[in-house]
Amino acid sequence: MSTELGSKEQSHKWWMERAMRVLPGGVNSPVRAFRAVGGTPVFVESGDGPYIWGVDGKKYIDYVCSWGALIFGHAPPFVVEAVERAMRKGSSYGAPTPGEVEFAEMIAEIVPSVEMLRMTSSGTEAVMGAIRVARGYTGRDLVVKFEGCYHGGADYLLVQGGSGLATFGVPNSHGVPSKIAETTLVAPFNDLDAMKRIFEKHGRDIAAVIVEPVAGNMGVVPPEEGFLQGLREVTAAYGAILIFDEVMTGFRVALGGAQALYGVKPDLTCFGKVIGGGLPVGAFGGRRDIMEKLAPLGPVYQAGTLSGNPLAIAAGKATIEALKKPGVYERLEAQSCKIANGLEEAAQKNGVTDFCVQRVGSMLTPFFAKGPLRSWQDVSRADRSGFALWHRAMLEQGVHWPPSQFEAGFVSLSHDDEVCEVTLRAAHAAFAALPK
């Protein structure tokens, strides 16, 4: 009997069927359901370094890494110890702690555009706070976002462009009132001319432009030379706030984030993922004169019961301390480069010609399309079914890659030479298995 029960509990399908009865789609966040690639998601039993183990006992090399949060891989001992120590002293107080102060000082020292910081429990909340304070500061309502960029689940950011180059947003989720979607303007990524036209028309009503400085949520699309600088100039000319959503890129593409990498200073920055060391976290910060509009100093309300909670702070501090050591980002770059080049080589050797890897640091997307891809329009031409077949073949080979063509894969500091080699051997086999 116990073996019978054991075999059920070792089946992803059995867990998915059970999950479907109590969790919509079986998951707590849609992309995890594997709808874009088909098949059943891996139900994870545990993780260690670059590996996860499924309930079936199978070991996978993981490139999801909690969607980029785990820059040292799963359960790095120094983070586990920091969280254990914090937990013994109490997990949350609803009162200020020295750790929050040290954490904010740490971020402000590494990211010079951040003079003050407010912590939240997710990236979504960080973005909502940043946009609210930008609107409160400027007294304007409109926000500009880019097609293909994702900024969490807030109503006014779940929008897509209508027809035409730069338009008022229309909801891309049911449940978002069109009146709210209309407070957002949608522009094509990497298109400064479109941005200038938007500002010529609406500039005096625009509170903020929010951008993923390296787009990661349509798959990796780097900013073209001058794009971020151009956004800086046009927002400054019209007194609009420039918000870098560095929830994915912060402390990942460089210690100081994309703003350090490209040398452009935003007014506000949103963080999440890496700064929480794998615990639920977010933060937004920037210019002191803007941040001082937040309650209790100013009239812009923002709050959170678990904001700045000691466990997340402990994990975040341990992670950032470790990231400050010399050579860390060079090592991450070298491994990521090896994987990106190796994937392109494996595709080429197997006759897959409409293929390119787009990468900035340790964020990378294998696109089933000829590159370079510079906008949502470009990436949407990629062959999703080719990607889905490749994804399934990789999974069979023991590599857990993000289950969508329009996501980034993440390399961690635990992905060493051997892990890279095994990954590339798997990729070779996966490309070879594709129909010609």
Identify the helix (H) or strand (E) that includes residue 200.
helix 192-202
Please, are residues 122 and 152 in contact by the beta-carbon 8 Å criterion?
yes
**Which structure tokens are listed for 98?**
């020295």
SS3 content of the chain, % helix, strand, coil (to 5): 45, 20, 40
Closer residue to ligand PLP in complex, CB, 157/194: 157
Could you say which DSSP state residue 253 is in? T
Map tokens 């779940």 to a residue: 158
The two structure tokens encoding residue 386: 């080719």
Q: How far is the CB of 120 from ligand PLP (least distance, A)?
A: 9
Helix axes 98-110, 310-323, angle to 10 degrees: 30
Q: Write out the residues near ligand PLP by the rule CB under 6 A.
A: 67, 122-124, 127, 150-152, 212, 216-217, 245, 247-248, 272, 282
- As measured in angstroms, the least distance from the Cβ of 27 to ligand PLP is 13
Q: Which is nearer to ligand PLP, 198 or 248 (CB)?
A: 248
Nearer to ligand PLP among residue 120 and residue 397 (C-beta): 120
For residue 127, the minimal CB distance to ligand PLP (Å) is 6
Cβ nearer to ligand PLP, comparing 217 with 350 = 217
Instruction: Find the residue with minimal CB distance to ligand PLP.
Output: 123
Dihedral (Cα; 68, 70, 72, 77), 10-degree rounding: 180
Name the catalytic one among 60, 150, 156, 262.
Answer: 150
Instruction: Please report where in the chains the tokens 């116990």 appear, as a residue.
Output: 2
3 state SS of 252: coil
Question: What tokens appear for 209 in the block?
Answer: 């432009």
Q: For the chain, how many residues are written? A: 436
Residue type, 145: K
- The least CB distance from residue 235 to ligand PLP, in Å, is 18
Q: What minimum distance in Å lies between the beta carbon of 259 and ligand PLP? A: 14
* Choice among 62, 191, 245, 378 that is catalytic: 245
Q: Which residues pair with 300 in a beta bridge?
A: 294
Residue 273 designated active-site:
yes
Q: Which amino acid is residue 170, in one-letter code?
A: V
Strands (E), 323-378: 356-360, 363-367
Q: Angle formed by the axes of helices 417-432 and 328-349, to 10°?
A: 20
Catalytic residue among 273, 293, 329, 378: 273
- Residue 62 near residue 50 (C-beta atoms within 8 A): yes
Angle between helices 192-202 and 227-238 (to 10 degrees): 10
Least distance from ligand PLP to the Cβ atom of residue 280, Å: 7
Nearer to ligand PLP, 261 or 427 (CB): 261
Say whether 378 is catalytic: no
The amino acid sitting at 408 is A
Tokens of 195: 């941005």
- Report the residue number, 346 or 363, with the smaller CB distance to ligand PLP: 363
196 is catalytic: no
Q: Catalytic residue numbers?
A: 150, 245, 273
